[in-house]
Amino acid sequence: IVGGRLVHKNDDYLSAVSIIYRPHLKKDLIKLACGATIIHKYWSLTASHCLKPIPNRLIMSKHIFLRGNTTYWDGSSKHYQDHFIADYSLHEDYLGPQNQFDNDIALLKVKEPFTGVYEKPVCIASRSYTYIENTSAVVFGWGFTDPHKQDSNSKALKAADIRITNFSTCLKIHESINKMVSARMVCAWGHKTDSCTGDSGGPMIQNDTLIGIVSWGMECASDHWPGIYTRISEFPEWILRKIKSLSKTT
């Protein structure tokens, strides 16, 4: 998160978890991969583009896990809880950067349930949720705090207060550079604050409801480019169908 604020104890952020990558199991080094959101005791949502490049055997191994129950992804507070991945599902119609990250959503099932005091699921936006332009929302993450500085991740969870951008304005802005903004996306921007690299997969929340997933954007916290989020209200049936079918197998 560029700009914004550190998160204090409140219910708002309890659904945010980090996805952590451990390149060598014999070494302590860990890296922040993405964010994710708890939506159920065993399930979380993230962006498909967070997992797509990673081979299946790595996702299902101890190299990758979710860390919850803490505001610090790096382990500098002791009460964190790690969750290994039992199963996952990328959206079938996610076609990657070539298709401008359309359908950028994925489900992750964890082996250890989210039962920590600071781990709480959030409701997902229904089909009928209305995204009203200029209303405020909050995006959470541990990603870059400086868009021009590699590895400027935040150890503590941050939040950015953003507003939903008029959809046709967002379309037009991106048409000028031939970037497609689809009906499965929602745009939002803040004043000198934004989501950025490393925040991908994390929650955008309004009215205690998950309405977006951090997906992409041309820059971070620029006056010209809003951030683009996966529009959750397009996916409740997909989410329920996947949870039902994967619950049968694991």
- Is 165 near ligand 4AZ (CB under 6 A)? no
Per the CB < 8 A criterion, the answer to whether 197 and 32 are in contact is: no
Is the Cβ of residue 80 or residue 216 nearer to ligand 4AZ in the bound state? Answer: 216
Count of residues of this chain found to bind ligand 4AZ when the rule CB under 6 A is applied: 11
What does the radius of gyration of the chain's CA atoms come to, in whole angstroms?
17
**Rounded alpha-carbon distances, angstroms, from residue 200 to 26, 112, 129, 165, 204:** 27, 23, 22, 19, 11
Candidate ranges 149-157, 163-171, 215-223, 232-240; the one touching ligand 4AZ (CB under 6 A): 215-223
Is the Cβ of residue 33 or residue 124 nearer to ligand 4AZ in the bound state? Answer: 33
Catalytically annotated residue among 154, 200, 215, 233: 200
Report how far residue 65's alpha carbon sits from residue 157's, in angstroms, rounded to the nearest whole number.
17
Report how far residue 117's alpha carbon sits from residue 150's, in angstroms, rounded to the nearest whole number.
33
Per the CB < 8 A criterion, the answer to whether 231 and 127 are in contact is: no
Candidate ranges 23-31, 124-132, 214-222, 233-241; the one touching ligand 4AZ (CB under 6 A): 214-222
- Is 200 near ligand 4AZ (CB under 6 A)? yes
Is the Cβ of residue 7 or residue 214 nearer to ligand 4AZ in the bound state? Answer: 214
Candidate ranges 15-23, 91-99, 155-163, 196-204; the one touching ligand 4AZ (CB under 6 A): 196-204
Which pair of structure tokens corresponds to residue 228?
């683009």
